[in-house]
Amino acid sequence: MIAAGLAAWMSPAVARDLPDGFVFLRDIDPTIIQDIRYATSNNFMGRPIAGYGAGECVVKREVGLRLKAVQQELARRKLSLKMFDCYRPGRAVADMVAWSKNGRETAAERRYNPDFSKADLFRLGYIATHSGHSTGAALDLTLVDLTADNSGKFDPARNYADCTAPVAARAPEGSVDMGTGYDCSDAKGHTAASSITPAQRRWRNTLLAAMARQGFVNYSKEWWHFSLPGAGGQAYDFAIPSRRN
Protein backbone atom coordinates (compact mmCIF):
# COMPACT_ATOMS: atom_id res chain seq x y z
CA MET A 1 0.00 0.00 0.00
CA ILE A 2 2.83 2.42 0.83
CA ALA A 3 4.56 1.78 -2.49
CA ALA A 4 1.27 2.21 -4.38
CA GLY A 5 0.64 5.49 -2.62
CA LEU A 6 4.14 6.70 -3.47
CA ALA A 7 3.61 5.97 -7.16
CA ALA A 8 0.36 7.90 -7.06
CA TRP A 9 1.82 11.13 -5.68
CA MET A 10 5.04 11.20 -7.68
CA SER A 11 4.79 13.83 -10.41
CA PRO A 12 4.74 12.59 -14.03
CA ALA A 13 7.85 14.68 -14.75
CA VAL A 14 9.85 12.85 -12.08
CA ALA A 15 8.54 9.38 -12.84
CA ARG A 16 9.13 9.74 -16.59
CA ASP A 17 12.88 10.20 -16.09
CA LEU A 18 13.43 6.72 -14.60
CA PRO A 19 12.54 3.14 -15.56
CA ASP A 20 9.57 1.55 -13.83
CA GLY A 21 10.34 0.63 -10.24
CA PHE A 22 13.08 3.24 -9.78
CA VAL A 23 12.75 6.43 -7.74
CA PHE A 24 14.82 9.38 -6.66
CA LEU A 25 15.56 8.90 -2.98
CA ARG A 26 14.88 12.61 -2.39
CA ASP A 27 11.25 11.99 -3.38
CA ILE A 28 10.90 9.43 -0.59
CA ASP A 29 13.01 11.06 2.13
CA PRO A 30 14.65 14.43 1.49
CA THR A 31 16.22 14.38 4.97
CA ILE A 32 18.73 11.68 3.97
CA ILE A 33 22.01 13.42 3.17
CA GLN A 34 23.50 12.77 -0.26
CA ASP A 35 27.12 13.06 -1.40
CA ILE A 36 27.14 11.08 -4.64
CA ARG A 37 30.87 10.99 -5.08
CA TYR A 38 31.05 9.44 -8.55
CA ALA A 39 29.30 12.50 -9.99
CA THR A 40 32.28 14.59 -8.77
CA SER A 41 36.08 14.54 -8.87
CA ASN A 42 36.22 13.49 -5.21
CA ASN A 43 36.57 9.74 -5.79
CA PHE A 44 39.20 7.08 -6.52
CA MET A 45 39.26 7.93 -10.24
CA GLY A 46 39.69 11.66 -9.64
CA ARG A 47 36.93 12.69 -12.07
CA PRO A 48 33.19 12.24 -12.67
CA ILE A 49 32.46 8.68 -13.78
CA ALA A 50 30.51 7.79 -16.93
CA GLY A 51 26.74 7.76 -16.52
CA TYR A 52 26.58 10.06 -13.50
CA GLY A 53 24.70 12.90 -15.15
CA ALA A 54 23.60 14.19 -11.76
CA GLY A 55 24.56 13.74 -8.13
CA GLU A 56 21.31 11.98 -7.26
CA CYS A 57 20.66 8.76 -5.36
CA VAL A 58 18.40 6.56 -7.49
CA VAL A 59 17.11 3.27 -6.05
CA LYS A 60 14.40 0.68 -6.40
CA ARG A 61 11.24 1.88 -4.67
CA GLU A 62 11.32 -0.80 -1.96
CA VAL A 63 14.92 0.07 -1.17
CA GLY A 64 14.01 3.72 -0.80
CA LEU A 65 11.12 2.98 1.54
CA ARG A 66 13.34 0.86 3.76
CA LEU A 67 16.02 3.56 3.83
CA LYS A 68 13.33 5.97 4.99
CA ALA A 69 12.54 3.61 7.86
CA VAL A 70 16.23 3.44 8.80
CA GLN A 71 16.45 7.23 8.70
CA GLN A 72 13.42 7.61 10.96
CA GLU A 73 15.04 5.34 13.54
CA LEU A 74 18.37 7.17 13.36
CA ALA A 75 16.75 10.60 13.61
CA ARG A 76 15.64 9.81 17.16
CA ARG A 77 19.34 9.55 18.01
CA LYS A 78 20.24 12.75 16.12
CA LEU A 79 21.94 10.73 13.39
CA SER A 80 21.42 10.62 9.63
CA LEU A 81 22.30 8.37 6.75
CA LYS A 82 24.63 9.80 4.13
CA MET A 83 24.54 8.25 0.67
CA PHE A 84 27.76 7.95 -1.33
CA ASP A 85 26.47 5.76 -4.18
CA CYS A 86 23.17 4.12 -5.09
CA TYR A 87 22.17 2.93 -8.57
CA ARG A 88 25.29 2.69 -10.75
CA PRO A 89 24.94 2.66 -14.55
CA GLY A 90 26.55 -0.26 -16.38
CA ARG A 91 28.63 2.23 -18.34
CA ALA A 92 30.12 3.44 -15.04
CA VAL A 93 31.27 -0.08 -14.24
CA ALA A 94 32.88 -0.30 -17.70
CA ASP A 95 34.57 3.05 -17.06
CA MET A 96 36.02 1.69 -13.81
CA VAL A 97 37.32 -1.41 -15.59
CA ALA A 98 39.03 0.66 -18.27
CA TRP A 99 40.53 2.98 -15.63
CA SER A 100 41.97 0.04 -13.69
CA LYS A 101 43.80 -1.15 -16.80
CA ASN A 102 45.16 2.15 -18.10
CA GLY A 103 48.65 1.55 -16.65
CA ARG A 104 48.77 4.86 -14.78
CA GLU A 105 48.40 5.52 -11.06
CA THR A 106 48.62 8.92 -9.44
CA ALA A 107 49.38 9.68 -5.80
CA ALA A 108 45.79 10.86 -5.34
CA GLU A 109 44.50 7.54 -6.67
CA ARG A 110 46.79 5.58 -4.37
CA ARG A 111 45.14 7.20 -1.35
CA TYR A 112 42.30 4.72 -1.89
CA ASN A 113 44.43 1.58 -2.27
CA PRO A 114 47.71 2.27 -0.46
CA ASP A 115 48.99 -1.31 -0.31
CA PHE A 116 48.48 -2.63 -3.83
CA SER A 117 48.04 -1.59 -7.45
CA LYS A 118 44.69 -0.47 -8.80
CA ALA A 119 44.98 -3.24 -11.41
CA ASP A 120 44.29 -5.67 -8.55
CA LEU A 121 41.07 -4.02 -7.35
CA PHE A 122 38.80 -6.35 -9.31
CA ARG A 123 40.79 -9.51 -8.56
CA LEU A 124 40.71 -8.76 -4.84
CA GLY A 125 36.97 -8.12 -4.81
CA TYR A 126 36.92 -4.39 -4.14
CA ILE A 127 35.19 -3.55 -7.43
CA ALA A 128 32.91 -5.93 -9.33
CA THR A 129 32.78 -6.23 -13.12
CA HIS A 130 29.03 -6.87 -12.74
CA SER A 131 27.88 -4.62 -9.93
CA GLY A 132 24.80 -5.14 -7.79
CA HIS A 133 24.56 -1.34 -7.77
CA SER A 134 23.36 -1.54 -11.37
CA THR A 135 20.17 -3.28 -10.23
CA GLY A 136 19.20 -0.41 -7.94
CA ALA A 137 19.34 -2.60 -4.83
CA ALA A 138 22.89 -1.90 -3.57
CA LEU A 139 24.12 1.14 -1.70
CA ASP A 140 27.23 2.82 -0.32
CA LEU A 141 26.55 4.91 2.76
CA THR A 142 27.69 6.10 6.16
CA LEU A 143 26.40 7.92 9.24
CA VAL A 144 26.41 11.59 10.12
CA ASP A 145 26.26 12.82 13.71
CA LEU A 146 23.93 15.81 13.38
CA THR A 147 25.25 17.31 16.63
CA ALA A 148 28.87 17.41 15.37
CA ASP A 149 30.74 19.93 13.23
CA ASN A 150 30.46 18.49 9.71
CA SER A 151 31.67 21.58 7.87
CA GLY A 152 34.97 20.18 6.56
CA LYS A 153 35.11 20.26 2.74
CA PHE A 154 37.25 18.31 0.29
CA ASP A 155 40.05 20.40 -1.24
CA PRO A 156 41.31 18.86 -4.52
CA ALA A 157 44.56 20.83 -4.22
CA ARG A 158 45.45 19.42 -0.81
CA ASN A 159 47.78 16.44 -0.35
CA TYR A 160 45.73 14.27 2.03
CA ALA A 161 47.00 11.15 3.78
CA ASP A 162 45.70 7.80 2.56
CA CYS A 163 42.29 6.44 3.48
CA THR A 164 43.60 4.38 6.41
CA ALA A 165 45.14 7.39 8.21
CA PRO A 166 43.64 9.06 11.30
CA VAL A 167 40.51 11.03 10.46
CA ALA A 168 42.21 14.43 10.88
CA ALA A 169 44.80 13.56 8.20
CA ARG A 170 42.63 11.99 5.52
CA ALA A 171 40.16 13.74 3.21
CA PRO A 172 37.13 15.09 5.11
CA GLU A 173 33.78 13.40 4.53
CA GLY A 174 31.46 15.23 6.93
CA SER A 175 30.52 12.02 8.71
CA VAL A 176 31.41 9.91 11.73
CA ASP A 177 34.83 8.26 11.95
CA MET A 178 34.41 4.68 10.71
CA GLY A 179 38.16 4.03 10.81
CA THR A 180 38.75 4.58 7.09
CA GLY A 181 37.46 6.84 4.40
CA TYR A 182 34.83 5.75 1.89
CA ASP A 183 36.02 3.43 -0.91
CA CYS A 184 39.12 2.49 1.05
CA SER A 185 40.39 -0.69 -0.59
CA ASP A 186 42.30 -2.02 2.39
CA ALA A 187 41.93 -4.64 5.10
CA LYS A 188 41.15 -1.84 7.54
CA GLY A 189 38.03 -1.11 5.51
CA HIS A 190 36.74 -4.65 6.00
CA THR A 191 33.66 -4.44 8.20
CA ALA A 192 35.05 -6.68 10.96
CA ALA A 193 38.62 -5.31 10.82
CA SER A 194 40.42 -5.71 14.13
CA SER A 195 42.70 -2.71 13.54
CA ILE A 196 40.10 -0.03 14.33
CA THR A 197 39.39 1.64 17.67
CA PRO A 198 36.49 0.76 19.99
CA ALA A 199 34.75 4.02 19.07
CA GLN A 200 35.07 3.28 15.36
CA ARG A 201 33.74 -0.24 15.99
CA ARG A 202 30.69 1.19 17.77
CA TRP A 203 29.89 3.41 14.81
CA ARG A 204 30.20 0.50 12.39
CA ASN A 205 27.96 -1.62 14.61
CA THR A 206 25.41 1.17 14.84
CA LEU A 207 25.18 1.35 11.04
CA LEU A 208 25.11 -2.43 10.65
CA ALA A 209 22.33 -2.87 13.19
CA ALA A 210 20.14 -0.09 11.82
CA MET A 211 20.44 -1.41 8.26
CA ALA A 212 19.95 -5.05 9.30
CA ARG A 213 16.66 -4.18 11.01
CA GLN A 214 15.31 -3.25 7.58
CA GLY A 215 16.71 -6.36 5.87
CA PHE A 216 19.90 -4.91 4.37
CA VAL A 217 23.00 -7.12 4.17
CA ASN A 218 26.55 -5.80 4.43
CA TYR A 219 29.48 -6.77 2.17
CA SER A 220 32.28 -7.95 4.44
CA LYS A 221 35.11 -6.16 2.57
CA GLU A 222 33.41 -2.74 2.70
CA TRP A 223 31.84 -1.34 5.86
CA TRP A 224 29.89 1.14 3.67
CA HIS A 225 28.29 -1.33 1.20
CA PHE A 226 24.81 -2.80 1.72
CA SER A 227 22.28 -4.56 -0.48
CA LEU A 228 18.65 -5.62 -0.13
CA PRO A 229 18.22 -9.29 -1.10
CA GLY A 230 15.40 -9.92 -3.54
CA ALA A 231 14.98 -6.28 -4.55
CA GLY A 232 17.44 -6.29 -7.46
CA GLY A 233 16.85 -8.19 -10.68
CA GLN A 234 18.35 -7.17 -13.98
CA ALA A 235 21.22 -4.72 -14.31
CA TYR A 236 20.55 -1.39 -16.03
CA ASP A 237 22.61 1.14 -17.95
CA PHE A 238 20.52 4.31 -18.02
CA ALA A 239 22.39 7.50 -17.14
CA ILE A 240 21.42 9.17 -13.87
CA PRO A 241 19.31 12.22 -14.77
CA SER A 242 18.75 15.41 -12.88
CA ARG A 243 15.69 15.28 -10.67
CA ARG A 244 12.91 17.65 -11.69
CA ASN A 245 10.36 19.03 -9.24
Q: Is 140 helix (H, G, I), strand (E, B) or coil?
A: strand
Q: What 8-state DSSP symbol labels residue 170?
A: S
State the greatest distance between any 2 C-alpha atoms of the chain, in Å, as a whole number: 51
Catalytic residue flag (residue 62): no
35 is in an annotated binding site: no
190 is in an annotated binding site: no
Catalytic residue among 56, 62, 173, 222: 222
Q: Kindly list the distances between the CA atom of residue 177 and the CA atoms of 110, 166, 168, 201, in Å, as whole numbers in the listed order.
A: 20, 9, 10, 9
130 is in an annotated binding site: no
Geometric angle at alpha carbon 85, from 79 and 86, rounded to 5°: 95
**End-to-end Cα spacing for the chain:** 24
Taking the C-alpha atoms of residue 153 and residue 79, their distance in angstroms, rounded to an integer, is 19
Taking the C-alpha atoms of residue 68 and residue 88, their distance in angstroms, rounded to an integer, is 20
List, as residue ranges, the binding site. 133, 140, 225
List, as residue ranges, the binding site for Zn(2+). 133, 140, 225
**Catalytic machinery residues:** 222
